[in-house]
Structure 1
Amino acid sequence: MNVHDFRIDVPAVVIEDLRDRLRGTRWPDQVEGVGWGQGTEREFLREVVAHWGHNFDWFAVQDRLNHCAQRLVEVSGGLRVHVVHERGEVEGGQPIVLLHGWPSSFVQMLPIMPMLTQPSRYGGSAGDAFDAVALSLPGYGFSDRPTDAGWDLRRIADAVVEVMEALGYTTFAGRGSDLGAGVLQQLALAYPDRLVGLHLSGTNPYLGWVPDDLTPEEQSFVEAAQDWNAREMAYAQEHSSKPQTLAHALNDSPAGLASWVLEKFRAWSDCDGDLRNVYDLDDLLTNLTVYWVTETIGSSMRLYWEAARSTNAAYGRVEVPTGMAMSDKDMFPTPRAWAERSYRLTRWTKLQRGGHFLEWETPEPLAEDIRVFFRELRTARLEG
């Protein structure tokens, strides 16, 4: 069997080393009054590092995570993929794979999993229950780090199909954002018969070829994307060109890791400039600690390098029925007309709150939109 039960078991010496490094952080200077204008604000990061090093209880978090049903699934080439696999309250529920992006991890999906698997506890119908699979992308979290080149979005899409088959699902639904949405796009193009539908969110700043028949709303979107790329895209350029250079620093310094990751959470979330308006600090530190103890910051960034050099990516318009839950508080607003150029949209929801990490920021409305979308698809299939 290539499916094995898994429990997180981080050695105490790893956590003590983390705390020692946090306590020994060597702080840079900062221009007076600049705030976040030049990047991560020092005093905020001091607070984070102090809490991480002195108050954050990883082992209590580890115990809570281990209450989830976790598996390691071996795919072609021997790489093991970590999943949290929770079955729905009704036998035979719709299977759904949940895919995160960067700088996130499988823990982003945990808030909505009970809302999908046990909907009757959250004001929904038991008939909408899913079998939910939160999958850690290869090179992220407790999935193995690829040791060979070529693990691009398409190859990961192949692995997702293998994982779902190993868990007993030949067809399934997909939910994702960021790089996870990119994997699902590749899966939908390469294996359309495997997917009953896609549910996506998140602005994509990669424009690629820009058509010459833009609507005024699309033209505004392209201009916003170009402006965002000029101001905010340096991180992705580094990931895509020299990820190993940065990996040496971030794999060695937890304060550096926190600075690199939390600046993106602040910039991409609907938090009015203060992460504490949206997130519990321990949730952010859980995500950071997963990166630290698995030493996956380097392999996670390497996915950008792989995507930029992919030679086997599928291209075309996705014809799998797709629903999108979109927020104008993400990087910048995306018009429906632009999304329809790439996807067969059958549902489009404008969310009033939330940014790039909706499973964390607004789990209840997101879970409800997922349930409604796939219920509509089931009804349409029955009527058809």
Structure 2
Amino acid sequence: MELMGRLGYTEFVAHGGDWGGVITTILGGRFPEHVIGIHTTVAQPPPDLATDGLTAVERTWVEESRDFWSHRAAYAKQQAARPQTIGYSLVDSPVGLLAWILDKFAEWTDTEDSPFETICRDSVLDNVTLYWLTGTGASAARIYYESHGGVNAFDPGLRVDVPSSISTYPRDIERWPRAWAQERFRRIVRWREPEAGGHFPSLEVPASFIKDLQEGLAAVVAASRS
């Protein structure tokens, strides 16, 4: 909010995925007088919701999302508990940094054998090089520590009342039912489940992602004026 104010914007829309989705949700929840609406690929619900009434597909989403945070999120738990330990490796070895980041591209994309099926090597190298040349591999990891860990980053009581557009990609690391999302996002004006894409849709399916983003933000702007 302070940054947008310095740039001269008193009202704006926000979009984000991954941590950007967390930040976007917090902006919409805490600053409704400034945030017109949000678009996000991350719709984390409040904790401890019951699965009663969910469809079989929605139950699968919940099971897979919980499995991810329980068994495949060691990176997040390491960075939440001891970020500086892994931080030395991330700023000392370009191979170590590449392996750490490429592992996420390999597992979190909508591909069969290799992330390079949808993301070119240069894009991955650009991503890793940005961390390497700026020496931010360690500092970037500290958001997990400062937020006490991935899925628990939200205030359980946070609610978003501004218009929200949510897109859930089929191979993302976590997917939550709309009924659950509505417990946090009180005014969902657009809900989409694209046919392709994983955790990095802007890199994996850029054309359809841009169209989805444009339509999502248009929907929240229109809803804010109605």
State how far apart, in whole Å, the 1-side matches of 2:49 and 2:156 are.
19
Contact 1:171 1:194 in 2 (8 A): yes
Contact 1:198 1:320 in 2 (8 A): yes
Identity %: 31
Q: Are 2:103 and 1:263 equivalent residues in the alignment? A: yes
1:298–1:246 Cα change, 3 Å = same
How much has 1:190 moved relative to structure 2?
A: 1.6
**5 Å matches for 1:7-22?**
none
Q: Are 2:192 and 1:349 equivalent residues in the alignment? A: yes
Aligned length: 221
Q: Deviations over 1:24-48 (max 9, x none)?
A: xxxxxxxxxxxxxxxxxxxxxxxxx
Contact 2:46 2:157 in 1 (8 A): no
How much has 1:170 moved relative to structure 2?
A: 1.0
1:239–1:380 Cα change, 3 Å = closer
How much has 1:315 moved relative to structure 2?
A: 3.2
State how far apart, in whole Å, the 1-side matches of 2:67 and 2:224 are.
42
Structure 1 residue matching 2:162: 3-state secondary structure: strand
| Aligned-residue RMSD, C-alpha | 2.4
Q: Gaps (5+ residues) in structure 1?
A: 1-160
State how far apart, in whole Å, the 2-side matches of 1:327 and 1:188 are.
21
Q: 1:325 aligned to 167, 186, 203, which one?
A: 167
Partner of 1:305: 145
Paired amino acid for 2:50: D
Contact 1:328 1:334 in 2 (8 A): no
Q: Are 2:86 and 1:243 equivalent residues in the alignment? A: no
Q: 1:369 aligned to 190, 212, 215, which one?
A: 212
Q: Gaps (5+ residues) in structure 2?
A: none
Contact 1:203 1:330 in 2 (8 A): no
State how far apart, in whole Å, the 2-side matches of 1:268 and 1:184 are.
21
**Larger helix share, 1 or 2:** 2
Partner of 2:133: 293
Q: 1:334 aligned to 156, 176, 180, which one?
A: 176
Paired amino acid for 2:196: R
Q: TM-score, normalised by structure 1?
A: 0.53
State how far apart, in whole Å, the 1-side matches of 2:181 and 2:126 are.
33
How much has 1:272 moved relative to structure 2?
A: 1.6
Q: Are 2:23 and 1:183 equivalent residues in the alignment? A: yes
State how far apart, in whole Å, the 1-side matches of 2:223 and 2:47 are.
34
Q: Deviations over 1:75-114 (max 9, x none)?
A: xxxxxxxxxxxxxxxxxxxxxxxxxxxxxxxxxxxxxxxx
Structure 2 residue matching 1:327: 3-state secondary structure: coil
How much has 1:332 moved relative to structure 2?
A: 4.7
**5 Å matches for 1:63-142?**
none
Structure 1 residue matching 2:193: 3-state secondary structure: strand
Structure 2 residue matching 1:228: 3-state secondary structure: helix
Paired amino acid for 1:327: Y
Structure 1 residue matching 2:33: 3-state secondary structure: helix
How much has 1:202 moved relative to structure 2?
A: 3.8
Structure 2 residue matching 1:318: 3-state secondary structure: coil
Paired amino acid for 1:245: T
How much has 1:186 moved relative to structure 2?
A: 1.5
How much has 1:208 moved relative to structure 2?
A: 6.5
State how far apart, in whole Å, the 1-side matches of 2:103 and 2:154 are.
33
**Larger strand share, 1 or 2:** 1
State how far apart, in whole Å, the 2-side matches of 1:322 and 1:311 are.
19
Contact 1:254 1:292 in 2 (8 A): yes
1:183–1:332 Cα change, 3 Å = closer
Partner of 1:315: 157
Q: Which runs of 4+ in 1 moved over 6 A?
A: 309-312
1:278–1:381 Cα change, 3 Å = same
- From the CA coordinates, give the structure whose radius of gyration is larger: 1
Q: 1:174 aligned to 14, 29, 36, which one?
A: 14
State how far apart, in whole Å, the 2-side matches of 1:358 and 1:285 are.
17
Contact 1:203 1:331 in 2 (8 A): no
Partner of 2:61: 221
